C-alpha cells in the first residue's frame, strides 16, 4: 500500500483527485521563465508532441517552457502514489530500509542524469521539504549531495538557478543540500567514467547512492546502442555501494517500451534486484493542474527501480 493515503496528503499537493505542484516550485519556475523571457511562451503552451530538448539554446528553452512542469508532476505522482500503483518504490525512497538509508536521514549522494533543467532532483527535494513542513515526514537531519549532468549547458544553468532558490526552503526543513553540475555526453563512456569519479569524490562520506534517470525515452530510443556502454559503466561503478537506480519515463507506449528494453540491459547485473512486476514497469495515468496555464492536464508515469542486493543475500544465491 502507498506510504500516504490520498486523503491524508496535504491539500496543497492533492485535492479533488488532482495533483498540484508545490507553490514553491511554481514560484521558482515562473521566476526563471521571466528571467529568460519565456513566461508568456509557457503560458500559451504548445501542441507539438515531440519536444525532447537538446544541447542548443533554442531546444533547451523550448523544453523548459513547454515540458518542465510536466516532468515535475511525473516525479511527484510517483512519490505520492495516490492510487497505490507503485508497490514499495515510493516507500523505499522515503524510509530507512534494513540494509541502507534513503531520503529519511543521513547522507545521500544523488546522480541526476540526464538532468536537463533539474526537474527530477528539484521535484524530489521540493516534495520532501513540503512533506516535512506539513508534518507528514519527520525532520531528521539529511545531507544531499547532488551531481547533475546533461548535454546542455543552458539546461544546467536553469538547474543551478532553480536550486539556489530552493535551498533556503530545504534549509528550513533540516535538509542540507549542494549541487554540482557537469556537461556530459552519454554516448562517451570516457566522459561517464570521469563523471562517476567526480560524483564519488564530491560526496566521500555518503552512505547511500541514488542514480535518478528521467525522461530519456524521447531521444534515447534512437541512441540506446550508443549509450549502453555508459549505462553498463554506471551500474558497475555503484555495484559495491549501498545504491539504487530509479528510472522514470512517461507511461506512453514508447516510454513503457523503452523501460522494457532497459530492463533487458540491466538485469544481467546480478547485484541488483528489480522492484515491481517482471511483466512490465508499474505505471499510472493522472490529472494535474498547470498553474501558469490555469488548466487541468493529463499526465502519466512509468518506473523501473533497481536496488543493490545486500551482500548476505548475494552470498546465499
The model's confidence at residue 183, banded by pLDDT at 50, 70 and 90, is very high
- pLDDT of residue 216 exceeding 50, the answer is yes
The average pLDDT across 12-35 equals 95
Whole-number pLDDT of residue 265: 76
Could you state, in order of their start, the residue ranges of all structural domains in the chain? Answer: 85-287+301-316
Whole-number pLDDT of residue 94: 78
Whole-number pLDDT of residue 121: 96
CA distance linking residue 29 with residue 111, whole number of Å: 22
CA distance linking residue 34 with residue 197, whole number of Å: 36
- pLDDT of residue 28 exceeding 50, the answer is yes
Whole-number pLDDT of residue 240: 87
Q: pTM of this prediction? A: 0.91
Higher pLDDT, 65 or 7: 65
The average pLDDT across 266-285 equals 72
Residue 58 CB coordination number (10 Å): 9
> Does domain 85-287+301-316 correspond to CATH entry 3.40.50.150?
yes
Task: Write down the H helix ranges in the chain.
Answer: 23-36, 39-44, 57-80, 89-94, 119-133, 153-171, 189-202, 217-237, 253-266, 311-316
Q: Which three cell numbers stand for residue 176?
A: 542540507
Whole-number pLDDT of residue 95: 60
- pLDDT of residue 83 exceeding 70, the answer is yes
CA distances from 198 to 177, 191, 282 (A): 17, 10, 32
Half-sphere exposure (CA, 13 Å, Cβ side) for 154?
14
Nearest to 150 by CA among 209, 191, 109: 191
The average pLDDT across 204-227 equals 84
Whole-number pLDDT of residue 208: 87
Q: What is the percent of the chain with per-residue pLDDT over 70, rounded to a whole number?
A: 87
Nearest to 62 by CA among 35, 33, 27: 33
Choose the weakest-confidence range: 49-53, 101-105, 231-235. Answer: 101-105
271 phi, psi to nearest 5 deg: -85, -5
The model's confidence at residue 37, banded by pLDDT at 50, 70 and 90, is very high
Choose the weakest-confidence range: 37-41, 45-49, 68-72, 197-201. Answer: 45-49
Whole-number pLDDT of residue 46: 79
- pLDDT of residue 191 exceeding 90, the answer is yes
Q: What is the percent of the chain with per-residue pLDDT over 90, rounded to a whole number?
A: 59
Higher pLDDT, 315 or 178: 178
Choose the weakest-confidence range: 43-47, 232-236, 288-292. Answer: 43-47
The model's confidence at residue 270, banded by pLDDT at 50, 70 and 90, is low
- pLDDT of residue 277 exceeding 70, the answer is no
- pLDDT of residue 313 exceeding 60, the answer is no
The model's confidence at residue 314, banded by pLDDT at 50, 70 and 90, is very low
- Sign of the torsion formed by the C-alpha atoms of 75, 80, 86 and 91: positive
What does the pLDDT look like over 110-138, one tens digit per residue?
Answer: 999 999 999 999 999 999 999 999 988 88
The average pLDDT across 183-196 equals 96
Amino acid at each position: 500500500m502507498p506510504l500516504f493515503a490520498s486523503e491524508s496528503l496535504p491539500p496543497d499537493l492533492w485535492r479533488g483527485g488532482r495533483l498540484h505542484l508545490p507553490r514553491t516550485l511554481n514560484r521558482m519556475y515562473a521566476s526563471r521563465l521571466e528571467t529568460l523571457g519565456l513566461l508568456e511562451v509557457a503560458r500559451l503552451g504548445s501542441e507539438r508532441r515531440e519536444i525532447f530538448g537538446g544541447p542548443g539554446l533554442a531546444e533547451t528553452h523550448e523544453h523548459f517552457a513547454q515540458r518542465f512542469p510536466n516532468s515535475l508532476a511525473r516525479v511527484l505522482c510517483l512519490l505520492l502514489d495516490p492510487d497505490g500503483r507503485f508497490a514499495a518504490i515510493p516507500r523505499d525512497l522515503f524510509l530507512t530500509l534494513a540494509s541502507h538509508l534513503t531520503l529519511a536521514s543521513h547522507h545521500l549522494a544523488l546522480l541526476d542524469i540526464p538532468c536537463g533543467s533539474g526537474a527530477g532532483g528539484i521535484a524530489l527535494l521540493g516534495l520532501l521539504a513540503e512533506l516535512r513542513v506539513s508534518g507528514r515526514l519527520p525532520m531528521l537531519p539529511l545531507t544531499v549531495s547532488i551531481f547533475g549532468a546533461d548535454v546542455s549547458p543552458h539546461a544546467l544553468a536553469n538547474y543551478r538557478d532553480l536550486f539556489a532558490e530552493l535551498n533556503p526552503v530545504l534549509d528550513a526543513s533540516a535538509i542540507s543540500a549542494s549541487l554540482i553540475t557537469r556537461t556530459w555526453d552519454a554516448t562517451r563512456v570516457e566522459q561517464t567514467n570521469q563523471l562517476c569519479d567526480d560524483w564519488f569524490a564530491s560526496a566521500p562520506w555518503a552512505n547511500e547512492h541514488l542514480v535518478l534517470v528521467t525522461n530519456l525515452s524521447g531521444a534515447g530510443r534512437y541512441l540506446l546502442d550508443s549509450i549502453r556502454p555508459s549505462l553498463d559503466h554506471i551500474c558497475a561503478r555503484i555495484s559495491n555501494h549501498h545504491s539504487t537506480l530509479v528510472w522514470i519515463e512517461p507511461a506512453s507506449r514508447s516510454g513503457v517500451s523503452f523501460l522494457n528494453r532497459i530492463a533487458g540491459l540491466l538485469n544481467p547485473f546480478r547485484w541488483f534486484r528489480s522492484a515491481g512486476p517482471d511483466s512490465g514497469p508499474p505505471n499510472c495515468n493522472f490529472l494535474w493542474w498547470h498553474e501558469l496555464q490555469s488548466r487541468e492536464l493529463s499526465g502519466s508515469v512509468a518506473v523501473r527501480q533497481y536496488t543493490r542486493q545486500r551482500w548476505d543475500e548475494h552470498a546465499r544465491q
